[in-house]
């Protein structure tokens, strides 16, 4: 590799950004080539750049080895203008993402004809394109012939078209699968060597850190399982000329889609590859809905809008029809037959679509939900928690969990996340806190009443749990504990090899594998011996506990707002289930679906869930990689920009996660010298990891509070951001973001900073003092965040001394009787008096200020001075459950001090 290129790609962000980094490298090469044409640069310069790109290009079908060879020839022959023209064509095609399929050009020996991608025009234009990685032990000189042979197999009736990418080693195969998201299938031949012929230190370090223990021998099955571990979306095929039956019966062959006997099966292989793609491309519900929309259907049913007649024939609402287009109305239906299916009782294409989603998301079952994750959470809580069951739950979790508990009668045992007071937000709940709650319950003999641990992953601000560790340690204390991971924001994480292990399903898969490993029992027993017969609570808290694999019942639920991070229409959500005892709760689960799901679910929403799954299975890997790389770019630009960095910053891992939870010592992505290996270690080991796509942009230092800045971005610059805090806004990069979005954001921030600078310069000392005072107030005069206090004794039921679970449901319904309630104005002296002398102030309802969006009061909770102080300092307009005109709604106390 050229010196410059190696250095650049050693930075971890450039690895994560390998895809967009590639087009940057080509653009830089183009500039160098144009300079060479103009006599401003030397041939050596352009040679260096092209050799820097060569290794990366071996992992892509286009331009491919022959065109790269041609380019090198032109450079050696000093044909500067021709070389620059070639580079421009390559660069344009790569940058535009145009389908680079070259048809049969290579076969007739016309190398230059390859330059014009046939799919830009012609019949291939609409066929989805992908690349197939072939891992071959044959000499590299044979590869062009193999590729040509593969191309000859194409038939006009093929639904998709692909180009082969051929590599000759285990390492190269891994690197190609990592850096080229267009690769969707891999054909591995037995007998390839392990090490790459390249000296590619960056790629090697990626490989070494990702594989861990390097295999001594490069078996095709080992490579297949490593590739599936990194990219479960890949179809992997193995070819062998040895004992094909023996290979097929090896348990390791489970990650392989098909095993072929050597080369004589070439056409079969081609068909199998296309069939594998078709199996992901198929969208059973959407496909049927499209067919349904084409049929001439008369309706004597509800939903007059269906078929659009009431719209298109109307003088007055026709514009709606014109705006949305005919298909929306043709696809509207209240039918559950005639090619459609029932979401409440699926037996046909919705059932199949859900099964395909389960495969894609690594779950046993998936349920589509059309009322958002707000509903998904309530469904899961109702299905699994009976009245009186204890649920250990993050107090900062979304209100749907709290309301789910009220409805079902589950008793919340609130656990606190670590506070990030400086930014008026919370982090996530430390494992020690969760273990302590479980051990307290154990000590008080109430472990049997604990049903579920309910956490948000990732949190609004990007904290991802070490889901595997949390589940393992909790299962060591209570082997049948159920886990609900609210992954409303992070459904996309499944498609990132870095984030996936930190999802509920990713960790469940790892634990499932661990449970089957005989070494696990030995590890458990060894730890038991070390702990001794009656280990103290302190010792258990200090030990990384191993569960007893023979006792564990792995029961994991995950909800995601598909609409928040994938291409689903708003409110599209999924419940993912991996529960060995699902059979025992299935009927309750159906009841919960019946309770919460609309009997008129929206067809377009269901279709979009089906399509979102298809997209993620076919291009999710590249899209998520892009979202991460965009986030890292934004972080880097804001940090390094001379003007923006004076007023704004994006919080790093070190700002949002206290040191004690970053055990690996990882500081942040942007710390000078941070390497890829550091990040991988942090992802694997740290208690919390920061999802890079969630960027907390501090705006208090520019004199804006979060709400004000959000409004400014939206109203003046058409930039919508996620949520706000007192002194920050949250930016979220997504699968739809492009580098133009980064450019727009940067330009806007520069403009805003310019205005601040101008104001400070021209406004005199008074303006500067006012600005400094405003910044100080936003950044330093921040209210302390109130912890959950306790439930009033009247609502503690059978709670013990050590834990604070409560009967929130009784308190909630008490508020239905006006006579049981009273109102006290927040700022009245009455409040102060009662805080000092009693009777205690007991909240009658949830009070949820936005931001921060978590309940600072729940029904039955005793209100403390900290909560009142916090509320009095709150400067937000939206406080759900609080009527400023009437004051705090409280449950009245009887003379004996008991709640009525
Ligand atoms: C953590 C969390 N869970 C659940 C939800 C609700 O999801 P939905 O908007 O899909 O109903 C949200 C919404 O913001 C959320 O932040």
User: In this predicted model, what pLDDT tens digit does every residue of 295-334 receive, in sequence order?
Assistant: 877 767 778 888 888 999 999 999 999 999 999 999 988 8
Assessment of whether the complete model's pTM goes beyond 0.85: yes
More reliable by pLDDT, 670 or 506: 506
* 378 Cβ inside 6 Å of ligand 1: no
Are 67 and 60 in contact by the 8 Å Cβ rule? The answer is no
Mutate to test the pocket of ligand 1, among 368, 371, 400 (most ligand atoms within 8 A of CB): 400
Are 86 and 115 in contact by the 8 Å Cβ rule? The answer is yes
pLDDT of residue 105: 42
pLDDT of residue 205: 64
Tell me, in angstroms, the distance from the centre of ligand 1 to residue 230's CA: 28
* 394 Cβ inside 6 Å of ligand 1: no
Determine what percent of the chain falls in helix, strand and coil, rounding each to the nearest 5: 50, 15, 35
Instruction: Choose among 499, 457, 490: nearest CA to 562.
Output: 490
Tell me, in angstroms, the distance from the centre of ligand 1 to residue 496's CA: 21
What b/e readout covers 332-356, taking b as 16+ CB neighbours within 10 angstroms? Answer: bbebbeebbbebeebebbbbbbbeb
pLDDT digits (tens, 9 = 90+) for 398-426: 999 999 999 999 999 999 999 999 998 99
Instruction: Choose among 33, 36, 35, 26: nearest CA to 5.
Output: 26
CA angle 582, 583, 586 (to 5 degrees): 80
Percent of the chain predicted with pLDDT > 90:
66
Number of neighbours of residue 57 by Cβ within 10 angstroms: 22
Residue at token pair 């319904």: 813
For residues 229-233, average pLDDT: 91
At residue 294 the predicted structure's pLDDT band, cuts being 50, 70 and 90, is confident
The long-range contacts involving 750-755, CB below 8 angstroms and separated by at least 24 positions, are: 750/641, 750/643, 750/644, 752/647, 752/702, 752/712, 753/643, 753/644, 753/646, 753/647, 753/648, 753/702, 754/643
At residue 595 the predicted structure's pLDDT band, cuts being 50, 70 and 90, is very high
The top-scoring range by mean pLDDT among 62-66, 85-89, 114-118, 582-586 is 582-586
Mutate to test the pocket of ligand 1, among 367, 368, 372, 373 (most ligand atoms within 8 A of CB): 373
Give the number of the atom of ligand 1 that is nearest the alpha carbon of residue 375.
11
Say if residue 284's pLDDT is above 70. yes
Mutate to test the pocket of ligand 1, among 368, 370, 372, 691 (most ligand atoms within 8 A of CB): 372
Mean pLDDT for the chain overall: 89
* 370 Cβ inside 6 Å of ligand 1: no
* 19 Cβ inside 6 Å of ligand 1: no
At residue 19 the predicted structure's pLDDT band, cuts being 50, 70 and 90, is low
pLDDT of residue 198: 67
Tell me, in angstroms, the distance from the centre of ligand 1 to residue 245's CA: 49
* 456 Cβ inside 6 Å of ligand 1: yes
* 460 Cβ inside 6 Å of ligand 1: yes
pLDDT of residue 117: 41
Tell me, in angstroms, the distance from the centre of ligand 1 to residue 488's CA: 5
pLDDT of residue 1: 34
Tell me, in angstroms, the distance from the centre of ligand 1 to residue 397's CA: 9
Tell me, in angstroms, the distance from the centre of ligand 1 to residue 403's CA: 13
For residues 211-228, average pLDDT: 74
Say if residue 443's pLDDT is above 70. yes
* 572 Cβ inside 6 Å of ligand 1: no
pLDDT of residue 495: 95
Are 131 and 183 in contact by the 8 Å Cβ rule? The answer is yes
* 435 Cβ inside 6 Å of ligand 1: no
Give the number of the atom of ligand 1 that is nearest the alpha carbon of residue 459.
1
pLDDT of residue 369: 97
* 854 Cβ inside 6 Å of ligand 1: no
Say if residue 800's pLDDT is above 70. yes
Say if residue 115's pLDDT is above 80. no
For residues 251-257, average pLDDT: 84
Tell me, in angstroms, the distance from the centre of ligand 1 to residue 514's CA: 32
Say if residue 20's pLDDT is above 90. no
Are 707 and 724 in contact by the 8 Å Cβ rule? The answer is yes
Tell me, in angstroms, the distance from the centre of ligand 1 to residue 699's CA: 24
The top-scoring range by mean pLDDT among 80-94, 244-258, 644-658 is 644-658
Residue at token pair 């705090």: 888
Are 507 and 464 in contact by the 8 Å Cβ rule? The answer is no
For residues 786-811, average pLDDT: 91
Tell me, in angstroms, the distance from the centre of ligand 1 to residue 91's CA: 41
H-assigned helices in 699-851 = 706-717, 739-762, 764-779, 808-814, 829-837
pLDDT of residue 219: 83
pLDDT of residue 672: 85
Give the number of the atom of ligand 1 that is nearest the alpha carbon of residue 564.
10
More reliable by pLDDT, 363 or 633: 363
* 501 Cβ inside 6 Å of ligand 1: no
At residue 641 the predicted structure's pLDDT band, cuts being 50, 70 and 90, is very high
Structure tokens given for 21: 């980094």
- Which H/E stretch holds residue 187? strand 183-189
Tell me, in angstroms, the distance from the centre of ligand 1 to residue 882's CA: 21
For residues 196-218, average pLDDT: 62
In angstroms, how far apart are the furthest CA atoms of the chain? Answer: 100
List the residue whose alpha carbon is closest to atom 9 of ligand 1.
Answer: 372
At residue 539 the predicted structure's pLDDT band, cuts being 50, 70 and 90, is very high
Tell me, in angstroms, the distance from the centre of ligand 1 to residue 573's CA: 10
* 239 Cβ inside 6 Å of ligand 1: no
At residue 490 the predicted structure's pLDDT band, cuts being 50, 70 and 90, is very high
* 58 Cβ inside 6 Å of ligand 1: no
Tell me the DSSP string of 529-564. Answer: HHH-SS--HHHHHHS-----TTT---EEEEEE-HHH
* 461 Cβ inside 6 Å of ligand 1: no
What is d(CA 374, CA 277) in angstroms, rounded to the nearest whole number? 33
Tell me, in angstroms, the distance from the centre of ligand 1 to residue 487's CA: 9
């Amino acid at each position: 590799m050229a010196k410059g290129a190696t250095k650049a790609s050693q930075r971890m962000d450039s690895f994560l950004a390998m895809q967009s980094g590639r087009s940057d490298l080509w653009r830089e090469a183009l500039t160098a080539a144009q300079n060479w044409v103009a006599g401003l640069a030397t041939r050596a310069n352009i040679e260096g750049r092209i050799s820097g790109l060569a290794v990366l290009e071996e992992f892509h079908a286009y331009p491919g080895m022959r065109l790269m060879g041609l380019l090198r020839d032109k450079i050696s022959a000093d044909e500067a203008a021709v070389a620059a023209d070639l580079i421009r064509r390559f660069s344009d095609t790569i940058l535009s993402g145009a389908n680079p399929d070259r048809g049969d050009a290579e076969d007739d020996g016309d190398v230059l004809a390859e330059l014009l991608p046939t799919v830009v025009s012609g019949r291939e234009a609409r066929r989805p394109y992908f690349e197939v990685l072939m891992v071959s032990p044959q000499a590299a000189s044979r590869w062009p012939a193999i590729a040509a042979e593969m191309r000859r197999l194409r038939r006009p009736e093929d639904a998709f078209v692909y180009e082969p990418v051929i590599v000759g080693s285990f390492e190269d195969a891994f690197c190609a699968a990592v850096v080229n998201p267009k690769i969707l299938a891999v054909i591995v031949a037995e007998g390839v060597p392990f090490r790459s012929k390249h000296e590619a230190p960056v790629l090697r370090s990626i490989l070494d850190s990702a594989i861990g223990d390097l295999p001594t021998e490069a078996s095709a099955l080992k490579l297949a399982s490593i590739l599936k571990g990194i990219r479960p979306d890949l179809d992997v095929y193995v070819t062998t000329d040895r004992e094909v039956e023996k290979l097929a019966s090896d348990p390791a062959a489970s990650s392989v889609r098909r095993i072929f006997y050597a080369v004589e099966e070439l056409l079969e292989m081609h068909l199998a590859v296309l069939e594998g793609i078709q199996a992901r491309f198929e969208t059973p519900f959407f496909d049927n809905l499209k067919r349904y929309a084409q049929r001439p259907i008369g309706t004597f049913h509800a939903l007059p809008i269906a078929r659009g007649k009431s719209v298109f024939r109307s003088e007055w609402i026709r514009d709606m029809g014109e705006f949305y287009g005919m298909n929306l109305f043709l696809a509207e239906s209240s039918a559950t037959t005639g090619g459609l299916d029932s979401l409440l009782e699926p037996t046909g294409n919705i059932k199949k679509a859900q099964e395909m989603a389960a495969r894609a998301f690594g779950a046993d079952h998936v349920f589509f939900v059309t009322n958002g994750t707000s509903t998904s959470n309530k469904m899961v809580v109702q299905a699994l928690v009976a009245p009186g069951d204890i649920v250990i739950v993050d107090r900062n979790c979304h209100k749907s969990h709290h309301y789910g508990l009220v409805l079902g009668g589950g008793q919340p045992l609130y656990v606190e996340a670590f506070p990030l007071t400086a930014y008026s937000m919370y982090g996530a709940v430390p494992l020690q806190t969760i273990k302590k709650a479980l051990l307290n319950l154990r000590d008080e003999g109430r472990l049997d009443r604990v049903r579920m641990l309910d956490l948000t992953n990732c949190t609004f601000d990007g904290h991802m749990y070490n889901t595997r560790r949390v589940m393992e340690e909790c299962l060591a204390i209570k082997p049948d504990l159920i886990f609900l991971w609210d992954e409303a924001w992070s459904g996309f994480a499944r498609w990132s090899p870095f984030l996936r292990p930190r999802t509920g399903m990713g960790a469940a898969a790892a634990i499932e594998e661990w449970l089957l490993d005989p070494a696990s029992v030995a590890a458990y027993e060894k730890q038991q011996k070390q702990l001794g017969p009656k280990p103290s609570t302190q010792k258990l808290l200090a030990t990384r506990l191993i569960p007893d694999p023979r006792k564990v019942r792995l029961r994991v639920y995950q909800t995601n707002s598909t609409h928040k991070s994938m291409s689903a229409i708003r409110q599209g959500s999924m419940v993912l289930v991996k529960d060995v005892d699902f059979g025992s709760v299935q009927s309750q689960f159906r009841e919960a679906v019946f309770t919460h799901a609309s009997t008129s679910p929206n067809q377009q929403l269901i279709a979009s869930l089906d399509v979102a799954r298809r997209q993620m299975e076919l291009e999710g890997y590249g899209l998520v990689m892009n979202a991460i790389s965009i986030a890292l770019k934004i972080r880097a630009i804001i940090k390094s920009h001379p003007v923006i960095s004076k007023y704004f910053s994006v919080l790093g891992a070190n700002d949002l996660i206290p040191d004690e939870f970053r055990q690996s010592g990882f500081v942040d992505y942007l710390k000078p010298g941070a390497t890829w290996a550091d990040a991988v270690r942090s992802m694997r080991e740290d208690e919390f990891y920061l999802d890079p796509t969630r960027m907390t942009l501090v705006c208090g230092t520019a004199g804006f509070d979060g709400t004000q800045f959000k409004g400014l971005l939206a109203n003046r610059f058409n930039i919508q951001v996620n949520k706000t805090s007192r002194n920050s806004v949250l930016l979220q990069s997504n699968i739809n973001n492009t580098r133009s979005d980064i450019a727009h954001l940067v330009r806007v921030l520069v403009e805003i900073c310019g205005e601040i600078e101008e104001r400070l310069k021209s406004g005199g000392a008074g303006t500067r003092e006012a600005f400094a005072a405003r910044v100080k107030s936003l950044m330093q005069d921040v209210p302390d965040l109130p912890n959950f206090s306790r439930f009033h004794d009247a609502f503690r039921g059978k709670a013990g001394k050590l834990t604070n679970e409560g009967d929130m449901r009784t308190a909630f319904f008490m508020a239905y009787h006006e006579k049981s309630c009273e109102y006290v104005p927040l700022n009245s002296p009455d409040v102060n008096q009662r805080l000092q002398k009693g009777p205690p102030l007991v909240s009658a309802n949830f009070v949820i200020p936005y931001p921060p969006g978590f309940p600072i009061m729940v029904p039955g909770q005793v209100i403390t001075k900290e909560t009142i102080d916090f509320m009095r300092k709150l400067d937000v307009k939206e406080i759900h459950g609080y009527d400023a005109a009437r004051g705090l709604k409280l449950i009245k106390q009887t003379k004996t001090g008991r709640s009525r």
